[in-house]
Amino acid sequence: MTRLMVSILGAAAAAFSAAPTTAAEQCAPRADMIKALGEKFRENPTALGVVNPNVIVEVFVSDQGTWTILASDTRGQSCVVSVGEGWESAMTKAALPGT
Averages of pLDDT over runs of 10 residues in the chain (99 residues) are 46 47 70 95 95 96 95 95 89 63
pLDDT at 76: 94
User: What separation, in Å, do the N-terminal and C-terminal C-alpha atoms of the chain show?
Assistant: 28
Put simply, whether the predicted model's pTM sits higher than 0.85 gets the answer no
> Cα angle vertex 38, ends 34, 58, to 5°?
45
